[in-house]
Amino acid sequence: MKVLGIVASHRRLGNTEILVKEALMGAEEQGAKADILRWTDYHILPCDGLATCLFGGTGCALKDKDDHNYLLEKIYECDGLIFGAPCYLLEVPAIVRRFIDRLFVLMSSPPPTTMRQKPAAIIIPYATRGWTSYAFLQPNLMMLELGMAVIDRALIHIQGMSEATDNQRALDRAHKIGITLAQAIKTGDVTYRGEPGICPICHDRNIHILKDNQTVECGLCGIRGKLSIESGKIKVHFPEEQVKWHRFSEENIYRHFTYEIKPSKDYFIKTWPLLKEKRRKYRDYLRIDREPVIPEGRG
Ligand SMILES: Cc1cc2nc3c(=O)[nH]c(=O)nc-3n(C[C@H](O)[C@H](O)[C@H](O)COP(=O)(O)O)c2cc1C
């Protein structure tokens, strides 16, 4: 039973690293073999936005130029994942988003079937109460794209450098997450055990009110439902078919890729000669002559 810990924090031996390690210790108590990666030690190029990963048939064009593929394979190889990232300005650090952008390739080449419902847990240290609204958004997005099941997650209030070492409650919570994850791997029970949210898929509370002012939607999962107030409490009812067809369900990803993304290739090929001509005006206006970050010929 292999459990991988990911630390997506720039602070070495910061709270994220300590809490992820504590969770791994908990998993090891249950018989897991632990491994850890600090993402900030690796090179992850930004997605170049050319979408050749979707149309070229050869995967991500940057896959041999940096460590993204290696990091992805490490997730594919483990039996369970403990993902840690600090809260940064209501979300998590940009390295997480950079990794996720490069997962665009999964639209055309889905993750191996072994990834389906593979258990994961998320640990997010944060400093200020009320400043965490979107902290789970990117980690949830990543797990959904990978087809993984988040079985537990925690926002852990801890601020200063390595302060987690001196906060037994924080350590205990992280330790328990590791134990729970290992048990989920052993039993195959990937039921969500974290704090309940509003969305039954991502368990978050980031609900959008649509323009009809009647329907609400989970901004991440795209499921729509009706809001009501029962005994003074806000409730949202999401119909079963919405839950089944959430944005990241296999069926929906297939539909999105096949009917919305794929046809754009032919359209692009047809219109490219005209667009190439028309874009000259914008190339020549206020010319931007800085060297591109992305290798020449790919921009
Ligand atoms: C750039 C930056 C932005 C931050 N933004 C938030 C925030 O929006 N909300 C919050 O609660 N804490 C915020 N924090 C505090 C960290 O989440 C907190 O100190 C955490 O324990 C750091 O974990 P680390 O030691 O692994 O880096 C921020 C820290 C930094 C450096």
Is any atom of ligand 1 closer than 6 Å to the C-beta of 88? yes
Closest C-alpha to ligand 1, atom 31: 88
Q: Is 250 helix (H, G, I), strand (E, B) or coil?
A: helix
Q: Is 115 helix (H, G, I), strand (E, B) or coil?
A: helix
Distance CA 185, CA 67 (A): 27
- Whether the CB-CB separation of 68 and 77 falls below 8 Å is answered with no
From the CA of 91, give the closest atom in ligand 1.
Answer: 8
Q: How many CA atoms lie within 13 A of 183 on its CB side?
A: 13
Strands (E), the chain: 2-7, 33-38, 80-84, 119-126, 149-157, 207-209, 215-218, 224-230, 233-237
Q: How far is the CA of 204 from the centre of ligand 1 (A)?
A: 20
User: Which mutation among 17, 19, 39, 126 tests ligand 1's pocket best, with the greatest number of atoms within 8 A of CB?
Assistant: 126
Extents of the domains making up the chain: 2-187, 207-255
Domain with residues 2-187, CATH architecture: 3-Layer(aba) Sandwich (3.40)
Residue with tokens 């072994």: 114
Is any atom of ligand 1 closer than 6 Å to the C-beta of 158? yes
> What is the residue-level pLDDT of the chain in tens, covering all 299 positions?
999 999 999 999 999 999 999 999 999 999 999 999 999 999 999 999 998 898 878 899 999 999 999 999 999 999 999 999 999 999 999 999 999 999 999 998 899 999 999 999 999 999 999 999 999 999 999 999 999 999 999 999 999 999 999 999 999 999 999 999 999 999 999 999 999 999 999 999 999 999 999 999 999 999 999 999 999 999 999 999 999 999 999 999 999 999 999 999 999 999 999 999 999 999 999 988 777 665 544 44
| Tokens (6 digits) for 83 | 């993902």
User: Which mutation among 89, 122, 132 tests ligand 1's pocket best, with the greatest number of atoms within 8 A of CB?
Assistant: 89
- Whether the CB-CB separation of 184 and 151 falls below 8 Å is answered with yes
